[in-house]
Amino acid sequence: MTTPDQHRSDKTRKIAIASTGAFIAALLVFIAVILPAEFDRDPLGTGEWLGLDQLNSATVDAYQPQLIPHKSDDVELILEPFQSLEYKYRLDAGSGMVFSWESTGPLYVDMHAENTGTENGGEASFRMEEDAESGMGVYTAPFIGLHGWFWENRTLETVVLRIKSSGFYVDATEFRSGGSTTSTPEAVFRN
Amino acid sequence: MLIQSVPLPVKPLRSFRLGHYVILTFLMSMLWVMTGPAAAHDLTGGDANFVGNNSGAAIAPFIYLGAKHMITGYDHILYLAGVIFFLRQLRQVVQFVTLFAIGHSLTLILAVAANWHVSEVLIDGIIALSVVYKALENMGGLDSLGRWKPDSRIAVFVFGLFHGLGLATSLQAMSPSEDGLFINLISFNIGVEIGQLLALSLLFLLFTLWRRQANFDRYAFASNTVLMCAGFVFLLIQIGNGLIPA
């Protein structure tokens, strides 16, 4: 018959073994299944063996279904001499858009994004140019936030800027020194 | 305390009564209706679009979103399951769950209203640890601490605070507008409580039915080990999210 002390330490041992076992099992599940499926890493080769690597392969990346309605934007913005403005789209992480812009005169441009999903924010910068009159590209948002441009007219002539874009953004905001205005570009298919 | 067979306080359930089937079916279909569409879509897709675009009070949608977040938040559900695992009386369940609800409501409202952004990875990691802690407590792993063992009720309240921060970061990630924020936030909270109630009703019913079976005591320890394992998996996922570059 076990003494209370012996019983207590038996119980403690049982719990310690069970807890360690739980952790090791979790580690195995994580390394063998979750790393390949979610993080695109396959240290044990189990991802390949189980076929999970297909969740991360390049051909899967080619097509990315989007959940936010497809919208199209066409705006004309006027920059008087020495005026500057920002124009940004609100995009969820992984959402994409295509854009092109043209201006009637040279502009300083800075294409960048701000992260609104985390406490410290965080920014990313994509293109900075002193005298640009056009730009175009395909953009996929690396994080949830506001993505777009800062333009500054450093000449003595008024510059007209035209932006056309199509993508999976929520809305667009124009920031000027006086304030900002947010508008929702029209959805391509209107229900 | 020696583990010995204790006479069950209720007569073992030898057959399911029709009423049990009806309740079970109703609750399961409610849950399926809510989680089916949610599981098919990324939660932050259409919902984020609505929340980001929305301005002004939108009570019903936010109530729905709150309920959806709670029911599809497996870390919250697992923690609740751990909490009520050994609570045989409804009165005790109400007591513990109310403490949890007060805790998570406090931080949910405070964090969103005060625009306090905490690291999602850190908070979700702590929530994962709450599942591990509860499983360990259920296994009796904290009994050897004697009078240093934290009071279960206080622990549930404290972990509730962290679960609330997790809910807050989920809502904040959808960028709700300042206009109508407070009403929407309260609605979201009400939704969370409704979702909690639904999930809890099902869990409590399942546990009650299980407890009447003779094998409950035998499998209780093993089940909590599995619960602990799930908590560890969530923890590792959060560590991965925090350390592994995309």
Express each pLDDT in B154-193 by its tens digit. 999 999 999 999 999 999 988 888 888 999 999 999 999 9
With an 8 Å Cβ cutoff, the interface of chain A facing chain B consists of 7-8, 11-12, 14-15, 18-19, 21-23, 25-27, 29-30, 34-35, 38-39, 41, 67-69, 90, 92, 116-119, 142, 144, 170-171, 184
Residue B127 pLDDT exceeds 70: yes
- Quick one: A59 exposed, middle or buried, by C-beta within 10 A (0-12, 13-18, 19+)? exposed
- pLDDT category of residue A61 using cuts at 50, 70 and 90: low
**A27 and B236 in contact by Cβ < 8 A?**
yes
**B136 and A19 in contact by Cβ < 8 A?**
yes
B228 touches chain A (CB under 8 A): yes
**Which one has a higher pLDDT value, A2 or A171?**
A171
**B240 and A92 in contact by Cβ < 8 A?**
no
Residues B235 and B233: their CA atoms lie apart, in Å, by 5
In this prediction the ipTM stands at 0.75
Regarding beta strands A159-167 and A123-140, do their DSSP bridges make them parallel or antiparallel, or are they unpaired?
unpaired
Q: Would you state the torsion angle of the CA atoms of residues B196, B199, B201, B203, taken in this order, to the nearest 10 degrees?
A: -130
Residues of chain B found within 8 Å of residue A25, distances taken between Cβ atoms = 229, 232
The pair of structure tokens assigned to B16 is 């399911």
**B141 and A30 in contact by Cβ < 8 A?**
no
Q: What DSSP state is assigned to residue B118?
A: -
- pLDDT category of residue B22 using cuts at 50, 70 and 90: low
Q: What is the pLDDT of residue B38?
A: 45
**A22 and B232 in contact by Cβ < 8 A?**
yes
Q: Mapping DSSP to helix (H, G, I), strand (E, B) and coil, where does residue B195 land?
A: helix
What stretches of chain A adopt beta strand conformation (E)? Answer: 71-79, 84-91, 96-115, 123-140, 145-152, 159-167, 172-176, 179-183, 186-187
H-type alpha helices, chain B: 18-40, 46-53, 59-71, 74-84, 90-113, 120-138, 152-172, 181-211, 216-243
Q: Mapping DSSP to helix (H, G, I), strand (E, B) and coil, where does residue B89 land?
A: coil
| Percentage of chain A lying above the pLDDT 90 cut | 58
Q: Is pTM beyond 0.80 here?
A: no
Nearest residue on chain B to A66, alpha-carbon basis: B45
Nearest residue on chain A to B41, alpha-carbon basis: A67
Nearest residue on chain A to B51, alpha-carbon basis: A170
- Is the four-CA dihedral A141, A147, A153, A157 of positive or negative sign? positive
Contact criterion met (CB below 8 Å) for B77 and B167: no
Residue B40 pLDDT exceeds 60: no
Contact criterion met (CB below 8 Å) for B127 and B166: yes
B30 touches chain A (CB under 8 A): no
A98-107 b/e with 16+ CB inside 10 Å = b? ebebebebbb
A82-114 pLDDT, tens digit per residue, is 999 999 999 998 899 999 999 999 999 999 999
A111-139 pLDDT, tens digit per residue, is 999 988 876 677 888 888 989 999 999 99
Pick A71-187's CATH classification: 2.60.120.380, 3.20.20.140, 3.40.710.10, 3.30.420.10: 2.60.120.380
Residues B244 and B236: their CA atoms lie apart, in Å, by 11
What average pLDDT does this structure show over B196-219? 88
**A144 and B44 in contact by Cβ < 8 A?**
yes
Name the residue ranges covered by the structural domains of chain B: 18-32+57-243
B179 touches chain A (CB under 8 A): no
